[in-house]
Amino acid sequence: MLSRKATFNSHGQDSEYFLGWEEYEKNAYHEVDNPSGIIQMGLAENQLSFDLLESWLAQNPDAAGFKRDGESIFRELALFQDYHGLPAFKKALVEFMSEIRGNKVSFDQNKLVLTAGATSANETLMFCLANSGEAFLLPTPYYPGFDRDLKWRTGVEIVPIQCSSSNGFQITESALEEAYQQAQKRNLKVKGVLITNPSNPLGTTTSRDELNLLVNFITAKGIHLISDEIYSGTVFDSPGFVSIMEVLMDRNYMNTEVWKRVHIVYSLSKDLGLPGFRVGAIYSNDVAVVSAATKMSSFGLVSSQTQYLLSVMLSDKKFTKNYVSENQKRLKQRHQMLISGLQNAGIDCLKSNAGLFCWVDMRHLLSSNTFEAEMELWKKILYDVRLNISPGSSCHCTEPGWFRVCFANMSEDTLNLALQRIKAFVDSLSTTNNNQSRHQSNKNQRRKSFTKWVFRLSFRDREASER
């Protein structure tokens, strides 16, 4: 009775990434009400800087009050449903995006399309760039949501670009070529590459070399490049953020064919910590893409009230500058807390400089170098340690044992508690290991003494006989 899309599991929502969430919903940690509940470390949300937003809102009641210069503009906003978006908001947004990139690149607001969140932006871009059955290449590990957002209704396929820990999961030329060949083998026409820069789940900014490599690759193959830069404002450490637009400018690619095939996805959910507002954007130099995406955005427009509120907020340059730098400071601090806490438990992380999470190396805690063992460990961490973290397999990582752990969606105390639980868990593991090995060595001892005894017996006999 229902469509195939509704009945099949192509929404990709059966992976562990989502199951962990369900468990968390059933037994969520709460400082007072449920102190032994599951702590959510699988949600990449930034709750560190709400106070800054709250104080701005308190000082600017007109913005939320549908007023401009003291005059009510409610009527205008109530009726505003133009899919070209509120011009004042788009202007403020592109200027904000430019600011995050150190003003090294500037954006034209007429090339920006607003959507209800980056989820909608990514899907819309897929609808615009690829036909059903065609493919995009994505470097692994990647955000589990892509399996749903990019593929479900669009019918587009994802072919992974395998990255490995041997070089910090960086994208290499051979990996790109390999992925392209794989797609050909599967009879899939490759329409482009999609990268997340800074990366989710790695938390690293894409290096200039990698970006140049990508530009070369898409030039050679005549395909698109989508750069999901949703975390661009969360870069808290060196090396800084390099936008793909900057690389194109440096190579004098403005107004070339390649320039038109590079598209950026953005959102205010991570940089500004406002995922509830549902604000996403597509930026493209291709007029056809902008036109098609604009019309498609009818299926996911941003509320005019929200657009107006944010246009005022983002136009307050003093506020945005302060917010971005303060937010980055706090992220850096939290990040440090997490990695030192993990180090204390003998766990390393991939060196990272951005994002709301760390890519944690728990390979040494696996019982075997397999994904089954990773699942085993993940389940133990979920049910026994009571932490919801994201297993690398749900991010399509090729090596078992990596996990994404978020650090910005909880209070400091909660993070400390989580770190304590991890330490306790790791300690218990090594005690178990010690017990196990002692047990093992006891067994070995017994076996050895038994053999000795048998040997001695036989030897005695022989001695007797030989005499």
Partner 1 sequence: MNHSRSRRNPTREPDFPTVKPPSPGGSSSGGAGAAMRLIVPLQGVVQGRGGLILGSIIPGALYYFFQLYLKRCRSAKPNSNPPSPSSSSAQLADLSRSSSRSNLSSRGSVGPVRVSARANSIAKPNASPYYIGLEMASEDPYDRFDNPDGIMQLGLSENRLSLDLIETWILENLERSMIGGADGHLNISGIATYQPLDGMMEMKIAVAGFMSQVMGTTVSFDPSRLVLTSGATPAIETLCFCLADQGNAFLVPTPYYPGFDRDMKWRTGVELIPVHCRSSDNFALSVTALDQAFNQARKRGQKVRGILISNPSNPIGNMLNKETLYSLLDFAREKNIHIISDEIFAGSTYGSEEFVSMAEILESEDFDKNRVHIIYGLSKDLSLPGFRVGVIYSFNTSVLAAAKKLARFSSVSAPTQRILISMLSDTRFIQRYIETTRERIKKMYVAFAAGLKQLGIECTKSSAGLYCWADMSGLIRPYNEKGELELWDKLLKIGKINITPGSACHCIEPGWFRCCFTMLAEEDIPVVIKRIQRVVET
Give least dist CB 315 to partner 1, A. Answer: 18
Residue of the chain from 47, 369, 411, 436 that contacts partner 1 (CB under 8 A): 47
| Three-class HEC string of 4-55 | HHHHCCCCCCCCHHHHHHHHHHHCECECCCECCCEEECCCCCCCCCHHHHHH
Size (the chain), residues? 467
Figure out which of the listed residues 19, 28, 60, 64 binds partner 1, where binding follows CB under 8 A.
64
Q: Give the x-and-dash track for 342-381 against partner 1 (CB under 8 A).
A: ----------------------------------------
Min CB(299)–partner 1 separation in Å: 4
112-115 and 387-388: which strand pairing? unpaired
**306 vs 353, which CB is nearer to partner 1?**
306
Min dist. Cβ of residue 447 to partner 1 (A): 57
- Enumerate residues 215-244 that contact partner 1 by CB under 8 A: 222
Q: How many CB atoms lie within 10 A of CB 466?
A: 7
Evaluate whether 263 touches 283 at the Cβ level (below 8 Å): yes
First CA to last CA distance, the chain:
93
Q: Show contacts with partner 1 in window 256-315 (CB under 8 A).
A: 260-261, 273-279, 286-289, 291-296, 298-306, 309
- SS3 state at 335: helix
**Footprint (CB under 8 A) of partner 1, residues 11-30:** 11, 13
For partner 1, which is the closer residue by CB, 142 or 402? 142
Neighbours of 437 (CB within 10 A): 12
Least CB distance from residue 59 to partner 1, whole Å? 10
Enumerate residues 140-179 that contact partner 1 by CB under 8 A. 148-149, 153
Residues marked active site are found at 143, 228, 230, 270
User: Is 419:346 a contact under the CB 8 Å cutoff?
Assistant: no
Q: Which is nearer to partner 1, 12 or 201 (CB)?
A: 12
> Phi, psi at residue 30, to the nearest 5°?
-145, 130
Between 124 and 199, CB nearer to partner 1: 124
d(CA 273, CA 124): 23
Q: Is 248 in the site for partner 1 (CB under 8 A)?
A: no
Assess 187 for contact with partner 1 (CB under 8 A).
Answer: no
Contacts of 191 by beta carbon, 8 Å cutoff, 6+ apart: 129, 130, 134, 135, 136, 156, 223, 224
116 belongs to the binding site for partner 1 (CB under 8 A): yes
Closest to partner 1 by CB, 196 or 294: 294
